[in-house]
Structure 1
Amino acid sequence: MEALRRAREHGFHSGVSLMPLLPYISDTGASLELLFQTFQAIDASYVFPATLALYGSDPADNRALVMRAIEKHYPHLIQKYQRLFGADGKLPDYYRQAFTDKAKSLCLQYGLRDSLLC
């Protein structure tokens, strides 16, 4: 955050690639509000939030790694994650659409762009 703040102070068009956000952990309303407030306070030029996708079936693939981390650090969420992520590794359309709508609303609320265009 300090690097972004300093880049903006020096006039650089700089922002945040906020991805991937983790369902029920970093994509909650409270987390997103705090993040967007912070980005506004440091004058970020833009923010690109995105959801998580889980791919692969090998033990070293991101699907296995993320699920192990969820099971270890957030065991109460493991069943939700198993239900949320289908065979294609993506969150359901309704979830992604709700997230997109929330992110757009927060961009408007905090005066942040969701593109590189000035």
Structure 2
Amino acid sequence: GEGVEAVPMHLRSFDRSEVMSEALDAKAVIVGSPTLNNNIFPTVADFLVYMKGLRPKNRIGAAFGSYGWSGESVKHVEQELEAMKFQLPEPGLKIQYVPDSAAKETCVEFGRRIGKAVCEAMNQ
């Protein structure tokens, strides 16, 4: 997955239509959400509902998130992506609390594997 451009977009820092424009132009959408009350963070849930209504096609997706107790948000994000027919080449990544250096390396490897899946999909 080296050389695959990633465009990180924090949902509080960008207008939702700007985020959606990038998401609809992308081959892959990797969604991160902390767990709040055993579910997806509200701004992330809003993004997923908005994207679902636009019916993106032929996308790769992945979910990651942080949690304190249970970490259900990753599973819920994956379910939303699957409902939109996204291909999920990697199981979601859950990191408890604030990631340490080992967890950060796990995150980097996760990103590399998603990037590799994007390259493979584009070469088919």
Above 0.5 in TM-score?
A: no
- Which structure has the greater CA radius of gyration? 1
TM-score (norm 2): 0.39
TM-score (norm 1): 0.40
Higher helix proportion:
1
Higher strand proportion:
2
